[in-house]
Amino acid sequence: MPSNKSVSDAPIIQFTDCRILREHKLQREDLWVRDGKILDPEKLFFDEQGYADCRLDCGGAIVAPGFIDVQINGGYGVDFSQPCEDVSAGVSLVAKKILEHGVTSFCPTLVTSPPAVYHQVLPQINVHNGGPDGAGVLGFHLEGPFISSEKRGAHPERFLRTFRSGGSDDLMETYGSLDNVAMVTLAPELPHSQSVVSTLRQKGVTVSLGHSVANLSQAEDAVRHGASFITHLFNAMLPFHHRDPGIVGLLTSDQIPAGRTVFYGMIADGIHTNPAALRIAHRAHPSGLVLVTDAITAMGLPPGRHTLGQQVVQIQGLHAYVAGTKTLSGSIATMDMCVRHFKQAADLVLLDDGLRVRTTYISGEEVWRAEL
């Protein structure tokens, strides 16, 4: 039965026989979409007197919002931090492939690199919506170079930087332009970081704390200035200590300004964090948890040696190390693997009970389907 088209000519799609995540529970409800937006069917019924133009039987699957990956360094042989002729081809390849994992939007992540790389890469990719060709790009996530030397992890030491007097001057000198940037990870203990945090916030860029040896008060100060995210909690920061919880303490800090939430990324690949630590973080601050893959070039590729930014890494099984060391260097888990591992917990993903992705939709249009 078609809609009466009193509000819009766009067809109304009704996803039936599915379970949707609503009010933090899986409920058996139909999902209605028009023009890439989710509709309130009750409003549709009484206000517009409309109903579905076409029905899609989901066969009992779970309909989940499309996954958003805010920390992904590359995959399938593509390394976003490796400057090359055609950056957009690499981003497009990854964007297309990650549809299979249910990811419908992502932030291509650049690790610490020399200014030349940022100047070359950043202008080549614009923020854009997803579609049949691939997941949407929300903007770059610039992880570094304003990070702590001690907690640099796999980032190359020679390209680390500090803020000299103005702070913002260093930003523009290093990155060139912030137009296509969605998020910046920095270490708040670096002198003059406060004004940088405020500046980034004003420009609409999310500031994330990470790769840092900050104590809790330095972290809280950064949050007061506008920081709202923590990069891969527990990794590349001081461990939680009961007399100085460090950045981890932000999860339960009472110094967070009213109305604001501190979100924290976690790599739930079973390697970067012990599941017990994952649970502690979740129980302390469930509404702030964000799953990220922090996937690197090798994601989707067979074991061996690959490049990550200016470094070389070694893949062994599901582990990725800086070649010749035991320092973890990003993960090769896919987003749906992370979701399964975490086990709880217009852009939609159809999952079966094992949380395996069956079909991916962007704006109500099917963009990927699993072979059965």
Partner 1 sequence: MRLVILDDYELASEWAAKYIRNRIVEFKPSADRYFTLGLPTGSTPYGCYQKLIEFHRSGDLSFKYVKTFNMDEYVGLPRVHPESYHSYMWNNFFKHIDIDPANAHILDGNAENLEAECNAYEQKIAAAGGIELFVGGIGPDGHIAFNEPGSSLVSRTRVKTLAKDTIVANARFFGNDLSKVPTMALTVGVGTVMDAKEVMILITGAHKAFALYKAIEEGVNHMWTVSAFQQHPHTIFVCDEDATLELRVKTVKYFKGLMHVHNRLVDPKMSLDDSYW
Residues at the binding site are 143, 154, 211, 232, 235-236, 243, 272, 328-330
Q: What's the CA gap between 364 and 366, in Å, rounded?
A: 7
Detail the residues annotated as belonging to a binding site for Zn(2+): 143, 211, 232
Which three-class secondary structure state does DSSP give residue 339? Answer: helix
Nearest of 209, 127, 217, 141 to residue 175 by alpha carbon: 141
13 binds partner 1 (CB under 8 A): no
Residue closer to partner 1 by CB (options 23, 157) is 23
Question: Closest distance between partner 1 and the C-beta of residue 11, in Å?
Answer: 17
Question: Closest distance between partner 1 and the C-beta of residue 23, in Å?
Answer: 12
Give yes or no for a contact between 244 and 216, defined as CB atoms under 8 angstroms apart: yes
Count the Cβ atoms, other than its own, within 10 Å of residue 298: 27
Residue closer to partner 1 by CB (options 45, 116) is 45
| H helices present in the chain, as ranges | 41-43, 87-97, 115-121, 168-175, 193-202, 216-224, 275-284, 335-342
Separation in Å, CA 264 to CA 25, 105, 292: 22, 18, 9
Instruction: Give the position of tokens 């990854």.
Output: 94
Nearest of 276, 257, 259, 260 to residue 268 by alpha carbon: 276
Site string for partner 1, 32-61 (x = CB under 8 A): ---------xxxxxx-xxxx----------
Query: How many residues bind partner 1, per CB under 8 A?
Result: 13
* Binding test (CB under 8 A) with partner 1, winner from 10, 11, 30, 119: 30
Give yes or no for a contact between 369 and 358, defined as CB atoms under 8 angstroms apart: yes
Question: Closest distance between partner 1 and the C-beta of residue 44, in Å?
Answer: 8
Residue closer to partner 1 by CB (options 41, 77) is 41
Catalytic choice (69, 79, 170, 294): 294
Q: What's the CA gap between 147 and 165, in Å, rounded?
A: 17
Residue closer to partner 1 by CB (options 32, 342) is 32
20 binds partner 1 (CB under 8 A): no
Residue closer to partner 1 by CB (options 1, 372) is 1
Q: What's the CA gap between 134 and 248, in Å, rounded?
A: 34
- Report residue 79 as tokens: 């390394």
Question: Closest distance between partner 1 and the C-beta of residue 52, in Å?
Answer: 10
Q: What's the CA gap between 293 and 108, in Å, rounded?
A: 11
Question: Closest distance between partner 1 and the C-beta of residue 63, in Å?
Answer: 16
1 binds partner 1 (CB under 8 A): yes
Radius of gyration of the chain (CA): 21
* Cα dihedral sign, 146-150-151-153: positive
Q: What single-letter DSSP state applies at residue 151?
A: T
What crossing angle do the helices spanning 168-175 and 193-202 adopt, rounded to 10°?
60
Active site residue 294: yes
Detail the residues annotated as belonging to a binding site for substrate: 154, 235-236, 243, 272, 328-330
Question: Closest distance between partner 1 and the C-beta of residue 43, in Å?
Answer: 8
Count the Cβ atoms, other than its own, within 10 Å of residue 305: 10
Question: Closest distance between partner 1 and the C-beta of residue 57, in Å?
Answer: 13
Q: What single-letter DSSP state applies at residue 157?
A: G
Residues classed as catalytic: 294
Residue ranges in contact with partner 1 by CB under 8 A: 1, 4, 30, 41-46, 48-51
